[in-house]
Each structure stands twice: as C-alpha cells, then as structure tokens.
C-alpha cells in the first residue's frame, strides 16, 4: 500500500518535471531549435492544429528554422500563426518554404527569459510539493485507519520527503542548465 503511494507520487512528480521541460522548450534561446515552435497552432480546415502536424520543421543553421508546409495553401496561415505567437519571431516566405531567423537576444530579453524560466521552475516545485502533501495525507489516513503503524508512517513520510527532495533538485538542475543556455552568446 505504501509502495503504491510512493510509486504514484514518483509518477506524478516525473510528469511535473516533464511539463517543466516542455515549458522550458518554449522559452527560446539564441539558437534555432524546432521545439521553439511546439506551442504554435495553425488553423487547418477549421480546427487549431499543432504546427508540427501540418509542416516539416527543420534547422537550416544555428540561427534559422525552415518550415515546409505539406499543403501550399497553408503558407499564409502558418506565417500568421507564427507572428501571433508570443515568440517575437518574424517569418519570411520564399515560395513554399517559410524561413524563421532567430533574432539575437539582448541582455534585457535574456534577463526576461531567465525570469520566465525561474517562474516555470517555481511552478514545478509547487506542483511537486503539492504531490508530496497528497501522498503524506494518504499515508496519514492509512495510519489513522490503523492499517499501518506509527513507525511505518514515519518511515514512509521520510521516504516521500527524500523522493520530493530528489525531484526538487532535478528542477533546480534543469533551471541552472536553462539559465546557462540563455546566457550563452
């Protein structure tokens, strides 16, 4: 029973860490990377569809992405969607290929992106602590129902805390890597 609670907590905490990773991918660095466009959605036959499902996204060089739509009539829609996204990108079209140059990051934009990354990391930490709270409440309930002893409850609480500490450390490590990435010129 306690193992199930710990396993569930680990699974949920790793999902919080995965969500942090995908949120970090949306914060662009100076380098071109296809994941920057993950949040861009294109109006495709009346429904909002992720850009990656209607076009190929490639890295041309360190500072340029190229988007090749599968249908030529999508070019203006894709351009519009990229410009509407809050990424600060200006696509240029050459026939059926949309090129997206990555603008240089100024010191101010770097600091803003770092601030945004820190906010995402704090959200992940809060999420992990909420999962810990839920797991501890489940263990306490088991002890209250006399299904486990006080010693087992204390041991389980300590193990859940160790799991939490590990995931919070992973969040801090991911944040440090993102900060380093953002500060590179």
What pLDDT is stored for residue 90 in this prediction?
A: 83
**The CATH number of the domain covering residues in 34-101:** 3.30.1360.40
What pLDDT is stored for residue 29 in this prediction?
A: 67
CA dist 181 and 185 (Å) reads: 9
Whether the predicted pLDDT of 26 surpasses 80: no
Average pLDDT, the chain: 86
Average pLDDT over residues 124-136: 94
Whether the predicted pLDDT of 123 surpasses 90: yes
Average pLDDT over residues 97-117: 84
Task: Read off the pLDDT band of 23 (50, 70, 90).
Answer: confident
Instruction: For residue 43, give the DSSP letter.
Output: E
What pLDDT is stored for residue 111 in this prediction?
A: 85
Average pLDDT over residues 70-76: 86
Average pLDDT over residues 29-50: 80
Give the residue, 183 or 16, on which the prediction is more confident.
Answer: 16
Instruction: Give the residue extent of every domain in the chain.
Output: 2-26+106-183, 34-101
Check: CATH 1.10.132.20 for 2-26+106-183?
yes
Three state DSSP letters for 64-95: EEEEEECCHHHHHHHHHHHHHCCCCCCCEEEC
Q: What angle do CA 162, 19, 124 make, to 5 degrees?
A: 50
């Amino acid at each position: 029973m306690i193992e199930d609670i710990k396993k569930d907590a680990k699974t949920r905490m790793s999902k919080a860490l995965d969500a942090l990773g995908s949120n970090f991918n949306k914060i662009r660095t100076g380098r071109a990377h296809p994941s920057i466009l993950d949040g861009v959605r294109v109006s495709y036959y009346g429904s909002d569809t992720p850009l990656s499902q209607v076009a190929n996204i490639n890295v041309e060089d360190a500072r340029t992405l190229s988007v090749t739509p599968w249908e030529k009539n999508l070019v203006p829609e894709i351009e519009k969607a990229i410009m509407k996204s809050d990424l600060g990108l200006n696509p240029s079209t050459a026939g059926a290929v949309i090129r997206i140059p990555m603008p240089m990051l100024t010191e101010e934009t770097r600091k803003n992106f770092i601030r945004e990354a820190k906010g995402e990391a704090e959200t992940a930490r809060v999420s992990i602590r909420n999962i810990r709270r839920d797991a501890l409440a489940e263990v306490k309930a088991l002890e209250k129902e006399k299904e486990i002893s006080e010693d087992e409850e204390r041991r389980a609480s300590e193990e859940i805390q160790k799991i939490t500490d590990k995931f919070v450390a992973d969040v801090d490590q991911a944040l440090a890597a993102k900060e380093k990435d953002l500060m590179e010129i």
